[in-house]
Amino acid sequence: MKTSSISPIQRVLIRRSFRKVARHPDLVAELLYNRLFEIAPACKMLFACDMQQQGRKFIQFLAISVVSLDTPEILIRAIQELGQRHSRYAITMADYQQVGEALRYALEQTLSEDWTPELNQAWTAFCDFIAQTAVMPIN
């Protein structure tokens, strides 16, 4: 799997937008998980933990992923390790896609008028890449 499915322009858009939302990590995480539990209520049972701490872990993972967009070996390894940790919960591609949908919702709400169709396409490509990579076995 290569990051070539995310164009150079999309990488720039992802980085710029993440810098803006990174100023509000708790808000983004809260919006994301509220939306996730709305669209996939069954997954709420997987989160018997401090949701604020969980949100911070998610944003930290996202930050590492965004920073690693131009270093595929680091990005792919980080995503595959995430997938391996989540495999004990039998997380599927559809589950990762729902998280991607919830993330795009949270980003759209946070960025407001700065959210554009191009930005949505960039984050969709990134979320799809993460989902596909997370479910791949580690070689």
Q: What is the residue extent of each domain of the chain?
A: 25-134
pLDDT given at position 139 = 53
CB 47 within 8 A of CB 54: yes
Q: How many CB atoms lie within 10 A of CB 137?
A: 8
How far is the C-alpha of 49 from the C-alpha of 120, rounded, in Å? 30
How far is the C-alpha of 89 from the C-alpha of 92, rounded, in Å? 9
Domain formed by 25-134, architecture: Orthogonal Bundle (1.10)
Phi first, then psi, for residue 89 (nearest 5°) are -95, 5
Q: Give pLDDT tens digits for 47-88.
A: 777 878 888 999 999 999 999 999 999 999 999 998 888 888
| pLDDT at 2 > cutoff 70 | no
Instruction: Tell me how far the alpha carbon of residue 128 is from its chain's centroid.
Output: 9
